[in-house]
Amino acid sequence: MIALEHLHVINVIHQEGSFRKASERLFKARSAVSYSVKQVEEYYQIEIFSRDTYRPELTRNGKILINKIQHLLSEANDFDMFARQMNSEVEAELRISISAIFAMDKVTKLLEKLKQEFPKTIIHLDIETASGERMLLDDLVDIGIYGGLEQDTRVQYRCIDHCKLPVFISDKFPLANKSSINQADLINFPQVVVKSLSFNFEVRQK
């Protein structure tokens, strides 16, 4: 396989439109720049730059190949940044669980900010009903955004917002006309319990 450095040289020649300018930009001797081109052309048995013009112009095959070269160099650069990031203070991936009652517009803004500041970090997001704390304790997520009245000493908490949950009742409900309702009043009526997901699942990427 040909060295990426040779492909990088070809891309710089294409961008600069000159072997001389490419050599200056790369801090290489012009002979070294020409050598890179020769290596690629001989390896793949293809002519990349036309020799019929004063300035280097891509041949028909060269125009097709340059797109592949630029894509490959971009992928290689992304890989390099990602690999370096794994050994830095920036997380390579982040698992987040967010309560379903948390304002979705704030979730969107949070994800946009994370993408802008840490473009190479992979975000795994789960929208949960009431399992944020449990998922943290089971090491299924790195950050849990949820509301709760009690705090577990094994979890580090930080208040980031307040949620207001208004209570509504149908005017046809038998107790609708009472000024106040307690638990004893409700005990004879059906209850709807919102259940969270099982903990035995794989965190999904969304």
Q: How many angstroms separate the CA atoms of 129 and 12, rounded? A: 53
Give the class (CATH, top level) of 4-86.
Answer: mainly alpha
Sheet with 93-99, side-by-side order of all strands: 122-128, 93-99, 143-145
Q: How far apart, in whole angstroms, are the C-alpha atoms of residue 46 and residue 40?
A: 8
More confident residue, 43 or 80: 43
pTM above 0.85, yes or no: no
User: What mean pLDDT do residues 186-197 have?
Assistant: 74
Per domain, the residue ranges of the chain are 4-86, 93-166
Helix (H, G, I), strand (E, B) or coil at 128: strand
User: What's the pLDDT at 35?
Assistant: 92
**Closest C-alpha to 135, from 90, 98, 160, 93:** 98
